[in-house]
């Protein structure tokens, strides 16, 4: 863009015509307004002195660039604004050109640069004033010498909570440089929480393993941990005798390229542990699995089979029939309070996941007359140890609907291991397989943190219920 002559001058807000701006979203202005109020406007806004005949009440200047700063100065209570005044003839093209370059030529600090700069300012002020150490009533901290996060918050015009989070991120960047690859601060904060949880989990796991090695781990916890076998299902099932399982709960890979649908599915690196099945061999995969499960199930037993309705509902129905199971096409439904769709312009968000309940022989439903709707909220994202984890409360309800206490449960694909916990709550005996040691490690910590009858995914019994499931 060519150079344009301009003069600097303070101009009253009332003399500036805001005009028709292309930018409509000016974001949060409180922090900028506070900064302007404390330190003034560092960068002047750009205006043009109109060279046309003005109406009686028409402002003599037109805003060219700096709409966000203009709005913030109003919020800060400034009467006059430092301005760079263009006096040459202003065409519509030049007007838009100046506004465009104001927004695309300016490069904001990245989130990483922002938090590191705040840390540097905070550290410099501590070096100058020393740490503020509160004593007695917290209301007296104003008179205590030194510098605190609250002082940095006042200096920067942001909340103490934001300063605390930003300083935590800055410190974490030094320990975990990979955090810098996050797209934004929100993503970095989520990843940091996962890394912190993983670090705590590793410490707890080491303590559990030490207790186990010394014989201090309780027999109940040890037995539950051993029910999670890190092994391929198709190999492990060979060791099970015929007709030994009362109910089989299968939550297999869905054969729908779930990594692409759910993005990275990163649960502190555990998303990489999830293994999909090639859609081209999915029918054979279901066929082999159904055949083995049928063999180990008793003469009068239930099979629960979760599936992706699109595109596998009919394929799975056919293969379960082929294996010898009896079932209807009307599935059970997990109903959630929220849904998702990758193509909102074409498809409604799905809030349900179906499962077939198939039988070998003629077992009877324990909760006779119950509806086929199981309405529970998903596991809170921050609590997941597996990308497709189902809540303990949901699985507990499903198991108790079809099987009685004392039933033997098989889970070919354990994932989070929540079915073992749900079975323990129901006084059922459960075993299962999964290929991931990471998932078993997280499961191990969960086992020791609770006991049969107390395992849950929600903080309270009512947290997960969306509608009456009866």
Instruction: For residues 17 and 70, state if they share a domain.
Output: yes
Give the per-residue pLDDT at 261. Answer: 43
Going by C-alpha positions, the residue among 450, 408, 449 that lies closest to residue 432 is 408
Query: CATH no. for residue 22?
Result: 3.90.1530.10
Q: Which residues of the chain, if any, have pLDDT below 70?
A: 1-6, 21-28, 89-109, 134-143, 157, 256-275, 461-470
pLDDT tens-digit map of 411-468: 999 999 999 999 999 999 999 999 999 999 999 999 999 999 999 999 876 666 654 4
Contact (Cβ atoms closer than 8 angstroms) between residue 422 and residue 455: yes
Evaluate whether residue 210 is within a structural domain: no
Q: Give dist(CA 154, CA 160) in Å, integer.
A: 8
Instruction: For residues 390 and 254, state if they share a domain.
Output: yes
Give the per-residue pLDDT at 259. Answer: 43
DSSP assignment string, 27-93: ---HHHHHHHHHH--SS-EEEEE--SPPPTT--SEEEEE-HHHHHHHHHTT-SEEEEEEE-S---HH
Evaluate whether residue 460 is within a structural domain: no
Going by C-alpha positions, the residue among 10, 430, 80, 369 that lies closest to residue 224 is 430
Give the per-residue pLDDT at 194. Answer: 78
Q: Give dist(CA 185, CA 195) in Å, integer.
A: 15
Contact (Cβ atoms closer than 8 angstroms) between residue 126 and residue 147: yes
Instruction: For residues 283 and 187, state if they share a domain.
Output: no
Give the per-residue pLDDT at 469. Answer: 44
Instruction: For residues 175 and 46, state if they share a domain.
Output: no
3-state secondary structure of 102: helix
Instruction: For residues 58 and 137, state if they share a domain.
Output: no
Give the per-residue pLDDT at 120. Answer: 85
Task: Give the residue numbers spanning the domain of 99.
Answer: 6-104
Specify the number of domains making up the chain: 3
Instruction: For residues 183 and 223, state if they share a domain.
Output: no
Maximum C-alpha span of the chain: 97
Evaluate whether residue 19 is within a structural domain: yes
Give the per-residue pLDDT at 43. Answer: 82
Give the per-residue pLDDT at 192. Answer: 80
Q: Give dist(CA 248, CA 410) in Å, integer.
A: 5
Give the per-residue pLDDT at 292. Answer: 97
Q: Angle CA(400)–CA(401)–CA(404) in degrees, nearest 5? A: 45
Instruction: For residues 98 and 124, state if they share a domain.
Output: no
3-state secondary structure of 220: helix
DSSP assignment string, 285-330: HHHHHHHHHHHHEEEEEEEEEE--HHHHHHHHHHHHHHHT-B--S-
Tokens at residue 123, please?
């550290």
Give the per-residue pLDDT at 380. Answer: 86
437-449 and 219-226 helices, crossing angle to 10°: 160
Instruction: For residues 227 and 295, state if they share a domain.
Output: yes
Instruction: For residues 60 and 120, state if they share a domain.
Output: no
Host H or E run for residue 433: strand 429-434
Instruction: For residues 145 and 180, state if they share a domain.
Output: yes
Contact (Cβ atoms closer than 8 angstroms) between residue 385 and residue 223: no
């Amino acid at each position: 863009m060519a150079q344009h002559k301009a003069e600097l001058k303070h101009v009253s807000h009332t003399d500036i015509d805001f005009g028709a701006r292309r930018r409509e979203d000016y974001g949060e202005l409180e922090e900028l307004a506070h900064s302007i109020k404390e330190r003034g406007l560092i960068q002047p806004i750009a205006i043009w002195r109109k060279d046309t005949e003005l109406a009686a009440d028409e402002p003599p200047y037109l805003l060219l660039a700096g709409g966000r700063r203009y709005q913030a100065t109003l919020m800060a209570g400034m009467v006059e604004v430092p301005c760079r005044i263009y006096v040459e003839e202003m065409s519509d093209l030049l007007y838009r050109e100046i506004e465009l370059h104001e927004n695309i030529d300016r490069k904001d600090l990245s989130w990483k640069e922002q938090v590191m700069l705040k840390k540097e300012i905070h550290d410099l002020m501590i070096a100058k004033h020393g740490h503020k150490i509160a004593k007695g009533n917290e209301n007296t901290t104003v008179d205590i010498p030194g510098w605190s996060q609250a002082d940095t918050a006042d200096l920067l015009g942001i909340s103490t909570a934001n300063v605390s989070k930003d300083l935590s991120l800055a410190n974490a960047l030094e320990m975990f440089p990979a955090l810098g690859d996050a797209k934004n601060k929100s993503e970095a904060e989520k990843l940091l929480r996962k890394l912190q949880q993983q670090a705590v989990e590793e410490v707890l796991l080491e303590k559990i393993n030490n207790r186990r090695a010394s014989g201090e781990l309780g027999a109940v916890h040890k037995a539950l941990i051993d029910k999670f076998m890190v092994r391929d299902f198709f190999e492990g099932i060979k060791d099970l005798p015929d007709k030994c399982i009362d109910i089989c709960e299968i939550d297999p890979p869905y054969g729908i390229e779930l990594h692409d649908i759910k993005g990275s599915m990163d649960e502190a690196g555990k998303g990489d542990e999830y293994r999909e099945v090639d859609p081209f061999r999915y029918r054979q995969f279901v066929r082999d699995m159904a055949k083995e499960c049928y063999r180990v199930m008793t003469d009068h037993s239930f099979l629960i089979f979760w599936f992706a309705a699109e595109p596998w509902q009919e394929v799975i129905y056919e293969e379960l029939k082929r294996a010898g199971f009896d079932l209807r096409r009307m599935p059970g439904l997990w109903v959630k309070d929220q849904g998702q769709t990758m193509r909102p312009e074409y498809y409604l968000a799905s809030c349900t996941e179906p499962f077939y309940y198939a039988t070998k022989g003629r077992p009877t439903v324990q909760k006779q007359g119950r509806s086929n709707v199981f309405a529970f909220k998903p596991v809170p994202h921050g609590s997941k140890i597996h990308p497709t984890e189902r809540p303990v409360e949901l699985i507990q309800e499903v198991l108790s609907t079809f099987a009685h206490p004392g039933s033997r449960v098989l889970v070919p694909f354990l994932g989070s291991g929540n079915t073992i916990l749900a079975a323990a709550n129901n006084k059922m005996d459960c075993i299962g397989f999964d290929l991931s040691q990471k998932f078993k490690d997280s499961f191990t910590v969960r086992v020791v943190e609770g006991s049969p009858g107390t395992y849950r995914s929600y903080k309270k019994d009512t947290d997960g219920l969306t509608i009456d499931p009866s």
